[in-house]
Amino acid sequence: MNFTVKTINTSTLKSACILIPVFEGGRLSASGKVINKSSKGFIARVLKSGDLTGKTGQTLLLHNVPGTLADRILLTGFGEQKEITPSNYKKALISGINALKSTESKDASLCVAEIKVKGQNSSANIKQAALEIESALYTFDQYKSKEKTTNLKKVTFVLTSPATTENNQAAKNGKAVGVGVNLAKDLGNSPPNVCHPSYLAKQAQQLAKSYSNLSVKIINEKELEKMGAGAFLSVSQGSDQPAKLIVMQYKGGKPGDAPHALVGKGITFDSGGISLKPGAGMDEMKYDMGGAASVFGTVKAICELKLKLNVVAVVAAAENMPSGGASRPGDIVTTMSGQTVEILNTDAEGRLVLCDALTYVGQFKPASVVDIATLTGACIIALGHQTTAMLSNNETVAKNLLAAGNTALDKAWQLPLEEEYQSQLDSPFADMANIGGRPAGTITAACFLSRFAEDYQWAHLDIAGTAWVSGGMKKGSTGRPVPLLTQYLQDRANEKASAPKQSRAAKSKK
């Protein structure tokens, strides 16, 4: 999508469609009032008819409105003018964009920057709109004989005041996050006979070809064996698809600056292994690489943003299949850290690939580490499909992630990570078991991972409930938590940029 920002009188704006906000009670925005005046009250008369009251998400498409140069006017309800929250703004935007999709409009002009949204300025409005447009226009039809096409190719954000550099950058930022979300969706929606560990490795190499400051290293099973990644390899040993540890390094900061690390669970298909899952809904186990998909999407977004920060992104990619060579309940494996694990359930495999990836990433001396995984069904029971679970060994990292989620409308909720839960992982035969029983399943899974993240500041995001929509024609990847992760890294880059520079004298004393 091509986004532009322009200051122009809406009555003289040539456009295939102009989206005009309407508030409760039929109140018009500033741009809407201009259109209403040029049309000699036509808009007001339409609203008086009661076909649209301004309720959040309502739309009404008008053709050939007198006194305008636009082919169409799309009236869109944004709710009570003084009570517009970012979530209501998002809901209205999505409704408006979906209405636009149903027209033959090749371009559209949106008068949304002027809306007063709680906690947002015009630039934040533009950024959110650009992201929602990219996401709403997403389709995954590569495997259908007839692909869908979208007419809309250009969107202009209309301002009533002179456009600023911040306004223009906001459109670019929103698009960057949007294309990252859509990459995550593509990977998540891809069928597991196509999207296996080797495919993910090739996608990483393709990304590196597109961005000069991104490098990729692919670690194969022989190398993993030499590194002692026994937990990781125990997951892939039942599959014909070899495991890959995919390492992407984005160098946008200064040489020597500690990187922030992302670690994604990349189980490209999870049958459960010998602890076989029920057949119903097993097709959706292609989404068990949602953590990896979000890492890819975030890397894409920060490359587009040219973020001034160093980032290491690690994807632990494997397929969990049952076979004569698969690991069994009761097996004991040695992790890269030297700790041993008794495998009581082969369907608790995500933590087995992640624990070795978390050990591996420690060599980069990271400033922070965030792992992302579709890890536990217990997370869905606790938080449903609206909110990501977050657990951390560091309160600063936890607060930063929660704040980023609130800003990006991609929310997380912190669960406790207390020592009292650790005993549920006790094993009579190994250092730990890979499951801790039904009680507090999300927490004990994080407790397991925490044992491999003691040397740095770490947080775990369980996205089992938020990574995809389940069932029917609406089934599909959500691309979450790419907005949260991108915002988190943007915030860290902004912190770096605003930090006071040390004097040479102060540096010399160190």
pLDDT band at 455 (very low <50, low <70, confident <90, very high): very high
| Cβ atoms 427, 433 nearer than 8 A | yes
CB within 8 A of 78, min separation 6: which ones? Answer: 21, 22, 23, 54, 56, 84, 88, 89, 92, 115
Q: Residue 500's pLDDT is what?
A: 78
Rounded to whole angstroms, how far apart are CA atoms 20 and 163? 19
Taking CA atoms, 387 is separated from 291, 390, 413, in Å, by: 15, 9, 7
| Cβ atoms 350, 373 nearer than 8 A | yes
Q: Residue 147's pLDDT is what?
A: 75
CB within 8 A of 426, min separation 6: which ones? Answer: 432, 433
Angle CA 123–137–62, to nearest 5: 80
In the block, tokens 């035969």 appear at 429
Verify whether residue 154 is a known catalytic residue.
Answer: no
| Centroid of chain to Cα 214 | 19
pLDDT band at 440 (very low <50, low <70, confident <90, very high): very high
| Predicted confidence (pLDDT) at residue 509 exceeds the cutoff of 70 | no
Hey, which bits of 116-189 come out as E strands? 154-159
Percent of the chain with pLDDT over 70: 98
Give the pLDDT mean for 184-204. 98
Residues of the chain with CATH 3.40.630.10: 177-497
Rounded to whole angstroms, how far apart are CA atoms 328 and 344? 8
Rounded to whole angstroms, how far apart are CA atoms 382 and 465? 9
| Cβ atoms 135, 479 nearer than 8 A | yes
CB within 8 A of 115, min separation 6: which ones? Answer: 21, 29, 78, 84, 89, 125
Tokens of 154: 């250009």
Give the pLDDT mean for 40-51. 95
**Residue 40: Cβ within 10 Å count:** 11
Query: Which CB contacts under 8 angstroms, 24+ apart, belong to 281-288?
Result: 281/470, 281/471, 284/468, 284/470, 284/475, 285/192, 286/188, 286/190, 286/191, 286/192, 286/195, 287/188, 287/374, 287/467, 287/468, 287/477, 288/320, 288/350, 288/374
Pick the catalytic residue from 27, 91, 217, 277.
277
324, burial (CB in 10 Å: exposed 0-12, middle 13-18, buried 19+): exposed
Pick the catalytic residue from 286, 300, 351, 411.
351
Helix (H, G, I), strand (E, B) or coil at 391: strand
Q: Is the dihedral of CA 397, 403, 406, 408 positive or negative?
A: negative
Q: Residue 85's pLDDT is what?
A: 95
Q: Residue 503's pLDDT is what?
A: 45
pLDDT band at 505 (very low <50, low <70, confident <90, very high): very low
Verify whether residue 277 is a known catalytic residue.
Answer: yes
In the block, tokens 């994807």 appear at 315
| Centroid of chain to Cα 376 | 18
Q: Residue 508's pLDDT is what?
A: 46
pLDDT band at 163 (very low <50, low <70, confident <90, very high): confident
Residues of the chain with CATH 3.40.220.10: 2-140+152-160
What is the fold, at CATH topology level, of the domain defined by 177-497?
Answer: Aminopeptidase (3.40.630)
Give the pLDDT mean for 207-226. 98
| Centroid of chain to Cα 151 | 26
Q: Residue 150's pLDDT is what?
A: 81
Give the pLDDT mean for 160-189. 95
* CATH architecture of the domain covering 2-140+152-160: 3-Layer(aba) Sandwich (3.40)
| Predicted confidence (pLDDT) at residue 135 exceeds the cutoff of 50 | yes
| Predicted confidence (pLDDT) at residue 213 exceeds the cutoff of 90 | yes
- Single pTM value for the model: 0.96
| Cβ atoms 30, 9 nearer than 8 A | no
| Predicted confidence (pLDDT) at residue 418 exceeds the cutoff of 60 | yes
Give the pLDDT mean for 455-475. 96
Give the pLDDT mean for 106-120. 96
Q: Residue 415's pLDDT is what?
A: 98
CB within 8 A of 389, min separation 6: which ones? Answer: 379, 382, 383, 412, 413, 415, 442, 461, 462, 465
Give the pLDDT mean for 104-122. 95
Backbone φ and ψ of 105, nearest 5°: -65, 130
Rounded to whole angstroms, how far apart are CA atoms 62 and 33? 16
pLDDT band at 501 (very low <50, low <70, confident <90, very high): low
In the block, tokens 């409930």 appear at 465
Q: Is the dihedral of CA 201, 205, 208, 210 positive or negative?
A: negative
The count of residues in the chain is 510
